[in-house]
Chain A
Amino acid sequence: MSREPSPLLTLDAVGKVYVNDEIETHALRDVYLSIDPGEFVAIAGPSGSGKTTLLSLLGLLDVPSAGTYRFGGEDVARLSATARARVRNLDVGFVFQSFNLIADLTVFENVELPLVYRGVDPRTRRARVREVLERVDLGNRTDHLPTQLSGGQQQRVAVARAIVGAPRVLLADEPTGNLDSANSTAVMELLRELHRGGSTVCIVTHERQLTRWAGRIIRLLDGRIVAEDATEAA
């Protein structure tokens, strides 16, 4: 895999500390990581190793307590909450384990949401949403509510929502955790397809077999990166 000269995401000595009732919990310590455009990275590790915290930082949902995180060369610590929200909206797509679809919005409206926040005009929104729903093979379910779909279909809606804004990076948190094996495979193939189309994909998983889909595996333990493996996959 060829590397771009300038990485998309760069973490230098990043740490994250949570303070609750005067108890400090070091979720991440001295993390050095860079992810290039077009990479498919898997972050693996046991429960409590810091995977979700790392994903929160990568997705600009949180800011590091120490070190520097640059997204597209921009120091995230310098960004306001509003600016981080704009970056998330424009450049990051999220896929969650529990789908996190809004129950009283239709499939179409759920997928439309990032474009609504981006201020895209309704006509362009409609065309773009229909395009991505066709892409995840849900073009005939636009008016359904999430509860009327299977788990696999819901996760495909979530993927459609993640990619509708053509983000620079797609972050997936245990994307198959609530799916059976057939649906898991379908979703991972969808992610691979997106990656092959040029997207940068980063998944967090504790399932060893999912890491085979990635080109690089980052292994975490107790908040530190303990191993980094390249694979032949993707």
Chain B
Amino acid sequence: MTTLADDLRQAWRQLRRQPGVALAIVATLTLALGVNTALFSILRAVVFGAVPVHDPDALVAIYTVDRKNPGHMPVSDATAFDVRDALGDEVPLTFFAVRSVAVATPEGRTQVAAILATANYFDVIGVPPALGTGFTATADVGADVDEVVVSHAFWRSHLAADPDVVGQRIVVEGVPLTIVGVGPEGFAGTNLFDASVFVPYASHGAVFPEVPWFGMRRFLAFEILARLPESLPFEVFDARITAIAERIAAANPDEIGTRRLHAVPFAHAILGPDQRATVVLAAALGGTIVGFVLLVACANAANLLLARASTRHGELALRGVLGATPGRLLRQALFEALLLAGCAGLLSIAIAPTLRDGLWLLRPPLLQMASLQPAIDGRVLGFTAAATLATGLIFGAAPALRAARIDVTSPLRHHATAGAASHRRVRSALVVTQVALSFVALLAAGLLLRSVTNATAVDPGFAVDELAAFDLHATPTAAAQITDALADMPGIEAAAVASQLPFGHNEFRRTIAVDAPTRSDAPTGLLVRTASVDPGWRAAMGIAELAGRDFHGDDDSKHPMVAIVNDTFAAVYWDGGTPVGQNIRFAGVRDPVRIVGVVTTTKTGSVTETPQPFVYIPLAQWPHQADLQLVVRSSAPEAAIEAVMAALEARDDATVSRPRRLTEDRDAALGPMRSAAVLLLLFGALAVALATSGIHAVMTYAVRQRTREIGIRMALGAQAHHVHRQLLGEAVALVLVGNGLGVAGGLILQHALTDHLFAVPLGDAITFGGVALVVTVAALAAAWCPARAATRIDPARAIHHR
């Protein structure tokens, strides 16, 4: 213990001895550790979930999967009931769907997200209300339930945080419901949609009387959450779910087809399993790059400590002479490093909340909808502590090993130079490492920025720049009146409504078969994206017609069903020629649907997607039971937005919300990539800045240590520009080697990211060249001043320099 105290005291004294070096190291590490802590807190919240439910590790989500189509889909309520019955009381199970609803409160009418959930929802997830109770009903069918739970945020924003709110009534979708409880603060549902109200499933008949799909096994809208007892391992439960799914499919072969069920841990389900994969990749990339930032900072710190150690060589050797063992000298040096890292770790915790808030502002729209709040909690602090310890050991390793191998005979030799060359080699290697790491960090940002730039330039196949869009809550009749009225307004070229817009969050897929394909390899059934659109849709969107006709007013429920397909769908089934007049069949629909037109393929999910088959169907034949999407085409979309909002403000049969240009949706679809690019750009710039400061410090030390050598050179006739050129040349050599390694690392990185980049060729000359230029210029700028200072050395004094 005494020995430990002595070593700590000694370490502290050494830090105080050269406070400038200590401060430089602590500042650098604080920034790097702070960024790592902030990012970790965000990734922990996003990837591992931060929804405040009881014992989230015991919760499991269940999704529909289909071997014919990749990805995870929701479950029908009919299937969810079957699963619940099959599992029995051993495994409490709830299921819920998210719906957009109009809510009227004393403060006005608003459109919010609602969770329609089974009666045991709050019990299964383990969320006690802040006021009142959860659902009081116990049955999900056959009961007349009049109750609603509101979220804490909704209670504060729309109900004036009234402590006596329980028992009061609000109107949901025109139906008065009694508030039975207020959710706890920070809770807004169990997925990424911020739900404001929670409606019991049993009341769906009263609240959503128009919605036909309750009980329909083909309609997948519900998410299942089950709470596993401790005695039931996940693997056993998953196997049981698989068996249950097989039984349900056997009993309902026509409706289920090849769809089955798949269980995933709740923590993996918050984002949705498919979105999670993207976020995990982004997290891995971001984590790697901030790891690089930390390594660059470590290299900086190691370099500064090595430079300082070279001035302490005599002292260390003397300690060895006096009996300090190699282990003791190693431990002493490590203590110094750990003390510096510890100071930086503590300071990083202080700045982490600010950095986290800054980074959180850059999150993509997907996460802006969530009530996720990254916290600097115990696990984050544990990460910071581990990172701090690792940091101290990493940057302290080289100086510590050098201290342990100190030549103890040097105090007897008065001009000892042993080790100077190897010191320089190690420090040069550290500079090369810094350059290479910062090159890769900046390159990651460059590659994503190139992808975003390329994606933004893609023609989506419709007039995206001229379109304004809105969420429209209205009956079909009111919607038709609105589009007719808007189309007559000055400055608006066309207006139309549809079930969904390109780049939106909602996606409707239907299984479609074709009566008479001409291609021999045509699939028998294909899950195809569809949209219900009104007759003016194609023209309003500016989608090119290739064959046949557009929808018209007679394409309604009284006439045969029709569809328009895109040319990608046509190419899947027919070898050339037009499919107009051919029949297609929708699973679960008895009558055939006749193709009446073919249009060009447009981008629907993202501008980076490959061409996807798409089928348009008339809204009048396929009514949409949720909010419609209103689109308005204008050469001045911003002005059109204001005009539409003003025109619809007075209507009491429609609610219009979320006005925006469609380019915003397009850009939002690129949001994860754009956010990642901006984040990585920040981290890359930080890495380059740290590397640059490291090069400056090393060059400054190098010049100071080589004062005598430079003096001798100048005494022998070297002029200022010779010295300057020589020192800059040495820096250039290091930067070139670092860039070379950076290019190699960058190629590996790009190869790993291939599937997530858009139209960026391997080794893209512009990106790689640009990054090399930035890194080189920054490094040379850092080396310039110390090299310049070397030219002002007085040779007469320098040759006597010790």
Contacts and interface: CB of A to CB of B under 8 A. Distances in A.
Interface of A: 52, 55-56, 59, 61-62, 81-82, 85-86, 88-90, 94, 96-98, 100, 102, 104-105, 113-114, 116-119, 121-122, 161, 165, 173
B409 A117 contact: no
B429 interface: no
B587 interface: no
B322 A88 contact: yes
Given A82-B327, A104-B17, A122-B2, A62 B409 contact: yes
Interface of B: 2-3, 6, 13, 17, 314-315, 318-328, 408-409, 411-414
Given A104-B17, A117-B328, A119-B2, A85 B323 contact: yes
A96 B412 contact: yes
B409 A56 contact: yes
Given A85-B323, A88-B323, A117-B328, A61 B409 contact: yes
A52 B325 contact: no
A131 B2 CA distance: 21
B409 A90 contact: no
A173 B411 CA distance: 10
28 contacts: A52-B413, A56-B409, A56-B412, A61-B321, A61-B408, A61-B409, A62-B408, A62-B409, A81-B325, A81-B326, A85-B326, A85-B328, A86-B325, A88-B321, A88-B323, A89-B322, A89-B323, A96-B411, A97-B414, A102-B318, A104-B13, A113-B319, A113-B322, A116-B6, A117-B324, A118-B323, A121-B2, A165-B323
Nearest to B13: A104
Given A52-B413, A122-B2, A85 B315 contact: no
Output the residue of B6, B320, B322 with the most chain A CB within 10 A: B322
Output the residue of B314, B323, B328, B408 with the most chain A CB within 10 A: B323
Given A52-B413, A62-B409, A94 B322 contact: yes
A34 B2 CA distance: 38
A124 B194 CA distance: 68
Nearest to B320: A85
Contacts of A61: 321, 408-409, 412
B323 A117 contact: yes
Given A85-B320, A85-B325, A98 B2 contact: no
Contacts of B408: 61-62
A56 B327 CA distance: 21
Nearest to B324: A117
Contacts of B320: 85
B2 A102 contact: no
A97 B414 CA distance: 9
A100 B6 contact: no
Nearest to A177: B414
Contacts of A118: 323
A165 B321 CA distance: 13
Contacts of B17: 104
B685 to A, nearest CB: 38
B432 to A, nearest CB: 25
A62 B320 CA distance: 12
Output the residue of B2, B324, B412 with the most chain A CB within 10 A: B412
A51 to B, nearest CB: 10
Output the residue of A52, A102, A105, A116 with the most chain B CB within 10 A: A116
A173 B412 contact: yes
Contacts of B325: 81-82, 85-86, 117
Contacts of B321: 59, 61, 88, 94, 100
Nearest to A87: B323
A146 to B, nearest CB: 12
Contacts of A59: 321
B322 A161 contact: yes
Contact of A100 (B3, B13, B409, B411): B411
Contacts of A100: 314, 318, 321, 411
Contacts of A56: 409, 412
A119 B322 contact: no
A105 B319 CA distance: 12
Given A100-B314, A102-B315, A119-B3, A114 B322 contact: yes
B3 A55 contact: no
A88 B326 CA distance: 13
B13 A85 contact: no
A104 B411 CA distance: 17
A206 to B, nearest CB: 14
A98 B414 contact: yes
A83 B628 CA distance: 83
A82 B326 contact: yes
Contacts of B318: 100, 102
A114 B323 contact: yes
Contacts of B315: 102
A86 B223 CA distance: 70
A105 B13 CA distance: 9
Contacts of B13: 104-105
A4 to B, nearest CB: 25
Contacts of B328: 85, 117
A118 B3 CA distance: 9
Given A62-B408, A88-B321, A113-B319, 13 more contacts: A52-B413, A59-B321, A62-B409, A82-B325, A85-B324, A94-B321, A94-B411, A98-B414, A100-B318, A100-B411, A102-B315, A114-B322, A117-B322
Contacts of B324: 85, 89, 117
A59 B408 CA distance: 10
A165 B324 CA distance: 13
A149 to B, nearest CB: 17
Contacts of A94: 321-322, 411
B750 to A, nearest CB: 44
Nearest to B408: A61
Contacts of A119: 2-3
Contacts of A104: 13, 17
A81 B2 CA distance: 23
A102 B322 CA distance: 12
Contacts of A122: 2
A56 B411 CA distance: 10
A104 B328 CA distance: 20
Contacts of B6: 116
A26 to B, nearest CB: 16
A55 B414 CA distance: 14
Contacts of A116: 3, 6
Contact of A55 (B319, B322, B326, B412): B412
A127 to B, nearest CB: 15
Contacts of B3: 116, 119
A92 to B, nearest CB: 8
A89 B320 CA distance: 9
Going nearest first, the 4 A-B pairs with the smallest beta carbon separation are A89-B323, A85-B325, A117-B323, A82-B325
A145 B17 CA distance: 14
A32 B408 CA distance: 24
A62 B410 CA distance: 11
B17 to A, nearest CB: 5
A165 B327 CA distance: 20
A89 B409 CA distance: 15
Contacts of A114: 322-323
A98 B408 CA distance: 15
Contact of B323 (A86, A97, A102, A173): A86
Contacts of A96: 411-412
Contacts of B319: 113, 117
Nearest to B327: A82
Nearest to B413: A52
Contacts of A89: 322-324
A110 to B, nearest CB: 9
Contacts of A98: 411, 414
